Amino acid sequence: MAVTAIVFDVGETLVDETKDWEAAADECGVPRFTLMALVGAAIERGESHRRAFEWLGVEHVPHGFAEGDLYPDALPCLRALREQGLRVGAVGNMGVVHEDVVRPHVDFVASSERWGVEKPSPGFFARVCEAAGRDPHEVVYVGDRVDNDVAPALAFGMQAVHVRRGPWGRLHETPPGARSIESLLELT
């Protein structure tokens, strides 16, 4: 099936969240290891990473990502795919504040906060295809999480790629029907 659009998740797919989590721990006044471990516990329990802040009893307001937070393969991949004539987008479960880092490098960007719908809801993937201007079977969704990115994209009739990086990406097993990659450059 011919692919004409490719849409990326943002956190741990295009962006390395390490500095963001380190800053969050510093702002919460807890050792970085403590917050990272609590996030891991939330992942293992199948709960939102936001549980870590609940366990700590703190309020956390996310900041935007910086260009330096992008994984080294992100911009070369986005550039190459656009040069190949593909329509390229980036939409994740995130705040509007996180859209800015990728906006200059894609054809469209959005967020769950902007759309008012989150992954893994089919409504999210319907909006992805609408923004891409394509039928689901022509669109590939690329993400690090199988539960939020890969499985629901496949269920919606899209194609899906699992990036094996970040804590979710390494813990989750790639399901049948999805492609598994270690680097975004494998897409070009």
Binding site for Mg ion (CB under 5 A): 9, 11-12, 144
Min separation Cβ 144 and Mg ion, Å = 4
Residue 64 vs 133, nearer CB to Mg ion: 64
Q: In what order do the strands lie in the sheet containing 5-8?
A: 108-111, 87-92, 5-8, 139-143, 159-163, 179-181
| E-strand stretches of the chain | 5-8, 87-92, 108-111, 139-143, 159-163, 179-181
Min separation Cβ 124 and Mg ion, Å = 13
Place of tokens 């699992």: 162
| Residue closest to Mg ion, measured at CB | 11
Min separation Cβ 13 and Mg ion, Å = 5
Beta bridge partners of 90: 8, 109
**Residue 126: which H helix or E strand, with range?**
helix 122-132
Min separation Cβ 166 and Mg ion, Å = 7
Residue 91 vs 132, nearer CB to Mg ion: 91
Residue 22 vs 135, nearer CB to Mg ion: 22
Residue 11 vs 120, nearer CB to Mg ion: 11
Q: Which of 132, 129, 178 lies closest to 154, judged by CA?
A: 178
